[in-house]
């Protein structure tokens, strides 16, 4: 890092420091003259916004930790003391509480931007993977943080979520006991969650550093999805994007401040103002809003894997195999894939895929309970379950995040930006609506029509990644892409 040409600085003190430790040269190179595409829209503000929220969470968290007591007998009251007696304690706590929500809002928008403009594609695959890792770490941190106030939802949320580890065959219960530090959520759990909740944000800072490093190696993507080609395409980061980022940040903070001061509890659950009581289960246990879509996916799997479910999934996967392997040299040993892989035989695909779907449904109906308690269908071995619904739900939930890790290899279409991919654009916008529907389903009790709605929405989520994207790689014709970023900017100006 110290090697390379140093920048010149008028300020003597800055120059003196930089000669010995070139931090100012580094800043100048990476945030001063750094070439940045000239056509960013406001969606490119959200990385900087997320970074600001991360710092804000760490600072407010450190202050809260000065007054918080991680003990089951004291935790709830120590938070109440922060709210009532500690100078400005209420403000710091509300900033931290709502900061978590706004951090997730910023990161969700940041992820959507990346998906819409294909920012996960070559050469930014690792940058994307580091992002998904940050997202996972954020989820773990937020989950453990929510346990700390030791309210009813803290306690029961932790009980439900850690309970899912027991679904792992053979070793599940041991893992659960090990995580909790006992047989139930208790003092040992609270202590380790506090310790990890303090540690993980610093790990996130480390991964964010790698994330930005990777970004500064590949350079930023932009709304056209075309890489800069000449010096007409980029602008120096400062002053163009320092000002644009500051403006976007201030607008975002207006919303954050409005909620923090005028409606600080609107995003939380009232039951968390009741101290944890292991003897009283709340009528309806819900996680924080930002986990709801994943919670809905977890609960959508109401059936175990019997031979019909397994065979159905197997046949559907077999039907998809030629699509997955379309861009590889691998010759799929399935009859309908002709040698040159050009004439896709839709009829044969639909027969095999449809057959798989039908057999899957038979397996599902063998387990579907009717109002009188009997099963909707009785088939031989239909009740023989290899993997329970609980395990299936956990796998589906983790799988839904794992799909994000492999997204760069699921979407290999050569055009990045959805602006030039009409079919991808529609599928992605439907996914956004689907994710919101999943959130609504996660909020409701698992009963009545909410169950099939959650299952349909989960099926679309999975299909988007595993079926739609591979098909689009093969069949989607993109619109004409501009020759350069500069050309796209000039064309837009002309149109105005």
DSSP H helices in 219-287? 237-262
The DSSP H or E segment spanning 232 is: none
- Does residue 431 touch ligand HEM according to CB under 6 A? no
Q: Which of 105, 127, 147, 488 binds ligand HEM (CB under 6 A)?
A: 127
Distance between CA 373 and CA 68 in Å, rounded?
49
Q: Quick one: 110 or 444, whose CB is closer to ligand HEM?
A: 110
Q: Which among 24-32, 193-201, 207-215, 341-349 is the span making contact with ligand HEM, rule CB under 6 A?
A: 207-215
Q: 10 Å Cβ neighbour count for 376?
A: 11
Contacts of residue 85, defined as CB under 8 A and 6 or more positions apart, other chains included, come to: none
Q: Which of 353, 319, 324 has the alpha carbon at shortest distance from 336?
A: 319
Contacts (CB under 6 A) with ligand HEM, residues 32-91: 44, 46-48, 50-51, 54
Contacts (CB under 6 A) with ligand HEM, residues 356-415: 404
288 is catalytic: yes
Q: Which of 287, 305, 281, 324 has the alpha carbon at shortest distance from 470?
A: 324
**Dmax (CA) of the chain:** 85
The DSSP-derived string for 130-176 is HHHHHHHHHHHHHHHHHHTT-BHHHHHHHHHHHHGGGGSTTTHHHHH
Name all contacts of 404-409 with Cβ < 8 Å and 24+ positions apart: 404/111, 404/132, 404/135, 405/129, 405/132, 407/115, 407/120, 407/128, 407/465, 408/120, 408/121, 408/122, 408/125, 408/128, 408/129
Q: Which of 142, 144, 167, 215 binds ligand HEM (CB under 6 A)?
A: 215
221 contacts 84 by C-beta, under 8 angstroms:
no
The DSSP-derived string for 178-197 is HHHTSSSS-HHHHHHHHHHH
Point out the catalytic residue in the list 29, 67, 216, 375. Answer: 216
375 is catalytic: no
Q: Which among 129-137, 275-283, 339-347, 485-493 is the span making contact with ligand HEM, rule CB under 6 A?
A: 129-137
Q: Which of 159, 162, 221, 486 binds ligand HEM (CB under 6 A)?
A: 221
Binding mask 130-159 toward ligand HEM (x if CB under 6 A, else -) reads: -xx-xx------------------------
Q: How many residues bind ligand HEM (CB under 6 A)?
A: 29
- Does residue 241 touch ligand HEM according to CB under 6 A? no
491 contacts 425 by C-beta, under 8 angstroms:
no
5 is catalytic: no
- Does residue 107 touch ligand HEM according to CB under 6 A? yes
221 contacts 416 by C-beta, under 8 angstroms:
yes
- Does residue 418 touch ligand HEM according to CB under 6 A? no
Q: 10 Å Cβ neighbour count for 219?
A: 16
463 is catalytic: no
- Does residue 110 touch ligand HEM according to CB under 6 A? yes
- Does residue 435 touch ligand HEM according to CB under 6 A? no
Q: Which among 212-220, 271-279, 312-320, 358-366 is the span making contact with ligand HEM, rule CB under 6 A?
A: 212-220
Q: Which of 211, 269, 416, 444 binds ligand HEM (CB under 6 A)?
A: 211
Q: DSSP letter for 209, please.
A: H
Q: Which among 111-119, 145-153, 190-198, 300-308 is the span making contact with ligand HEM, rule CB under 6 A?
A: 111-119
Cis peptide before 150 (omega within 30 of 0): no
Point out the catalytic residue in the list 78, 119, 154, 220. Answer: 220
Strands (E), 225-349: 234-236
3 is catalytic: no
Point out the catalytic residue in the list 18, 271, 288, 434. Answer: 288
Q: Which among 11-19, 82-90, 122-130, 286-294 is the span making contact with ligand HEM, rule CB under 6 A?
A: 122-130
- Does residue 96 touch ligand HEM according to CB under 6 A? no
User: Which residues form the catalytic set?
Assistant: 216, 220, 244-245, 288
Which parts of this chain interact with ligand HEM (CB under 6 A)? 44, 46-48, 50-51, 54, 107, 110-111, 114, 117, 119-120, 124, 127-128, 131-132, 134-135, 204, 208, 211-212, 215, 220-221, 404
């Amino acid at each position: 890092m110290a090697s390379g040409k140093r920048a010149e600085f008028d300020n003597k003190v800055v120059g003196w420091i930089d000669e010995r430790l070139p931090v100012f040269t580094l800043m100048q190179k990476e945030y001063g003259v750094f070439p940045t595409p000239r056509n960013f829209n406001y969606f490119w503000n959200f990385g900087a916004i997320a970074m600001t929220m991360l710092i804000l969470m760490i600072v407010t968290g450190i202050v809260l930790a000065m007054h918080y007591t991680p003990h089951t007998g004291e935790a709830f009251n120590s938070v109440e003391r922060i709210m009532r007696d500690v100078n400005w304690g209420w403000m710091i706590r509300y900033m931290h509480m709502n900061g978590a929500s706004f951090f997730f809002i910023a990161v969700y928008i940041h992820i959507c931007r990346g998906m819409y403009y294909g920012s996960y594609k070559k050469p930014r695959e690792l940058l994307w993977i580091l992002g998904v890792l940050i997202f996972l770490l954020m989820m773990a941190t937020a989950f453990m943080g929510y346990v700390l106030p030791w309210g009813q939802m803290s306690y029961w949320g932790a009980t439900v979520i850690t309970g899912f580890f027991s679904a792992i065959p053979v070793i599940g219960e041991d893992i659960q006991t090990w995580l909790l530090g006992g047989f139930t959520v208790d003092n040992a759990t609270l202590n380790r969650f506090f310790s990890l909740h303090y540690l993980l944000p610093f790990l996130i800072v480390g991964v964010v550093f790698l994330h930005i490093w990777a970004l500064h190696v590949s350079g930023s993507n932009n709304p056209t999805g075309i890489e800069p080609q000449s010096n007409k395409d980029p602008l120096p980061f400062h002053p163009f994007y320092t000002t644009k980022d500051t403006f976007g940040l201030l607008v975002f903070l207006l919303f954050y401040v409005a909620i923090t001061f005028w409606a600080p509890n609107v995003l939380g659950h009232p039951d968390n103002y009741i101290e944890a009581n292991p003897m009283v289960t709340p009528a309806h246990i819900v996680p924080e809003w930002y986990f709801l879509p994943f919670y809905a996916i977890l609960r959508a799997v109401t059936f175990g894997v019997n031979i019909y479910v397994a065979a159905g999934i197997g046949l559907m996967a077999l039907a998809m195999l030629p699509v997955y392997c379309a861009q590889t040299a691998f010759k799929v040993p399935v009859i309908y894939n002709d040698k040159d892989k050009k004439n896709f035989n839709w009829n044969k695909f639909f027969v095999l895929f449809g057959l798989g779907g039908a057999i899957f449904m038979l397996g599902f109906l063998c387990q579907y309970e009717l109002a009188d308690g009997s099963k909707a269908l009785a088939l031989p071995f239909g009740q023989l379950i290899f993997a329970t619904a609980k395990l299936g739900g956990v796998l589906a939930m983790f799988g839904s995040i794992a799909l994000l890790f492999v997204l760069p290899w699921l979407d290999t279409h050569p055009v990045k930006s959805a602006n030039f991919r009409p079919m991808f654009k529609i599928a992605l916008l439907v996914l956004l609506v689907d994710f919101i529907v999943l959130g609504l389903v996660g909020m409701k009790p698992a009963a009545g029509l909410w169950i099939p709605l959650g299952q349909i929405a989960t099926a679309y989520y999975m299909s988007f990644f595993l079926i739609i994207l591979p098909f689009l790689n093969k069949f989607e014709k993109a619109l004409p892409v501009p020759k350069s970023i500069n050309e796209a900017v000039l064309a837009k100006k002309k149109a105005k």
